[in-house]
Amino acid sequence: MKILSIVGTRPNFMKIAPLVREFRKRRIRHVLVHTGQHYDREMSQLFFDQLQLPKPDVNLGIGSGTVVEQVGRILIALEKVLTDEKPDIVVVVGDVNSTFAGAFAAKQLGIPVAHVEAGLRSFDWSMPEEINRVLTDRISGYLFTTEESANRNLLNEGRSRKDIHFVGNVMIDTLLAHRREAASSTILQRLHLSGKGYGVLTLHRPSNVDTKKSLASVISIIGELQKAIPIVFPIHPRTRRSIQSFGLGPVVGKMKNLTLTPPLGYLDFLCLMDNARIVLTDSGGIQEETTALGVPCITLRKNTERPVTLSHGTNLLVSMKKGKILAAARKAMSHHQKAGRMPPLWDGKAARRIVQLLKQFIQ
């Protein structure tokens, strides 16, 4: 049995890590392909080191570019890799360009595809990730889901129940496996923070950062919040470029209680989240992680593809209106936060279930 998995971005690395550990335990032949969609040290190599991932067997070195450029280059490079390796099955994770390109290349070559984190839907076709999710699921023969809403979505799209496997959340496998180690991070001391005495912000989605109007609106919200509590902002390269190009640097620079940092390694960021009073984000994965950690989260979007974080977790979706976001944040910071609980099967054993099923499929 030979499995080939494809990753390209930080969220992918976090999702593949527990699967790699299970492949090792069971002595399953595994080929790890890194497309190079994220390629600098903080966005790639540091995560491999901290998650104890092996050096990729293949690094395609795709780099940055438009969606079409990235997908096209990945497809061309993967065709040769898949033809040479001849895996029994290809595993893709998440919803990034590397996910869709990997699934498409394998399907065209007649190789079965398994999608980890299948069925999540925002129903917002302006999101590049939604396109990747839907197309990857349509291509994949084995659909591993993290929550019940994903099962329903796939059934509503005409998929057979036998193709859908509710296994839990590999992202949470990784979090639970590294939470104790992350607690020894010195990030709070380095940033002069006290536990539960600060907020965390992440921001990178095109809907928030690709136009001056939308980015200025979010910055205005943060400007108000940082008056009440220190905010730490590990800034994504895309967001940094937008702040500079839209001339918003001076506005951000005047915020005395806002601390900008470069992108952080996994352990530092997990420690930062775990000790935060509140997290504000437009990231899907962070909605899940804050739910697992029991940290109040406000999602800076009009929708979420992870509704279990709303029904079970600590996540709040309050529209993008400044007044509503500020009111929700102040309520959460005053210890009237939403009580959350761990969603079903978010128990650190998702990867084990997936690998058991993969063995059944291939035998």
Domains of the chain by range and CATH? 2-168+346-362 (3.40.50.2000), 180-333 (3.40.50.2000)
Cβ atoms of 169 and 346 closer than 8 Å: yes
One-letter amino acid identity for 12? N
- Closest alpha carbon to 134 in 118, 116, 146: 118
β 258-261/2-7 pair status: unpaired
H-helix or E-strand containing 105?
helix 97-108
Distance between the two ends of the chain, CA-based, in angstroms? 8
Residues in the chain, pLDDT under 70: 41-43, 336
CA distance 35 to 41: 15
What is the per-residue pLDDT for 63?
Answer: 86
Residues 6+ apart with CB under 8 A from 225: 199, 231, 280, 326, 329
Structure tokens at 236: 């994504």
Beta bridge partners of 166: 145
Helix 170-182 vs helix 350-362: crossing angle, to nearest 10 = 140
Residues 6+ apart with CB under 8 A from 28: 1, 2, 3, 22, 355, 359
Residue 149: count other Cβ atoms within 10 Å of its Cβ. Answer: 18
* pLDDT tens track for 134-185: 999 999 999 999 999 999 999 999 999 999 999 999 999 999 999 999 999 9
Told to judge if 204 belongs to the known catalytic residues of this protein, a careful annotator would answer yes
What is the per-residue pLDDT for 40?
Answer: 72
Task: Say which of 115, 204, 335, 336 is annotated catalytic.
Answer: 204
CA distance 154 to 165: 11
**pTM, to two decimals:** 0.95
